[in-house]
């Protein structure tokens, strides 16, 4: 009985940690993708998931799908960043620089360095990867930020 109960608990715990199936997010903050058209051939894609690698791969997959849906052949990543959503509880370092001018015309500059350590045992929660892309027809340029949409889908289609 104890073995069955322990196995059931592990299965339930594993189910909570798994990723949602690939697809659109049901609402803000939910796992999945959102797409914001910016211009006729420029889009901002956000993919939210429990794994940073999976969020990045699935954002690339969605970029390739959008490119082909538009009848284009390749896309270029203009900007990209990842957000873990952790304001506290994560580990890492930070550097801040600030400046001010006083009423007497004096100015000052400050520099701060911080280190954060995770003291709680909780999970980090969902992560999101955001990228802005530009799509285009024709041959892919020789640019490390340009991707052939068909090749991306062939390699990441199951991501």
Domains in the chain: how many in total? 1
Q: Is residue 93 a part of any domain in this protein? A: no
pTM, full prediction: 0.66
> Please, what is the angle between helix 149-156 and helix 52-69, to 10°?
140
In a domain, 80, yes or no: yes
Q: Does some domain include residue 112?
A: no
Let me know if residue 148 belongs to a domain.
yes
Q: Is 145's pLDDT higher than 70? A: yes
Per-residue tokens: 91: 């580990």
Is 1 inside a domain boundary? no
Domain carrying residue 55 = 21-86+123-159
* 72 within a domain of the structure (yes/no): yes
CB atoms within 10 A of CB 85: 12
> Has residue 94 got a pLDDT over 70?
no
Q: Is residue 106 part of a domain?
A: no
Distance, in Å, from the CA atom of 62 to the CA atom of 106, rounded to the nearest integer, reads 52
pLDDT of residue 16 exceeding 60, the answer is no
| pLDDT at position 118 over 60 | no
Establish if 29 belongs to a structural domain.
yes
């Amino acid at each position: 009985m104890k073995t069955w109960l322990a196995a059931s608990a592990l299965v339930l715990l594993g189910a909570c940690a798994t990723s949602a199936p690939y697809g659109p997010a049901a609402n803000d903050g939910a796992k999945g993708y959102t797409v914001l058209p910016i211009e006729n051939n420029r889009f901002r894609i956000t993919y939210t998931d429990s794994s940073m690698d999976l969020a990045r791969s699935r954002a690339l997959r969605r970029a390739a799908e959008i490119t082909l849906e538009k009848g284009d052949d390749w896309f270029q990543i203009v900007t990209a960043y990842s957000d873990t959503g952790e304001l506290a509880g994560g580990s890492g370092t930070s550097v801040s620089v600030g400046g001010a001018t006083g009423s007497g015309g004096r100015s000052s500059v400050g520099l701060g360095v911080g280190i954060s350590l995770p003291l709680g045992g909780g999970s980090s929660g969902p992560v999101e990867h955001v990228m802005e892309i530009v799509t285009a027809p024709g041959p892919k340029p020789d640019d490390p930020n340009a991707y052939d949409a068909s090749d991306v889908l062939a390699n990441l289609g199951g991501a």
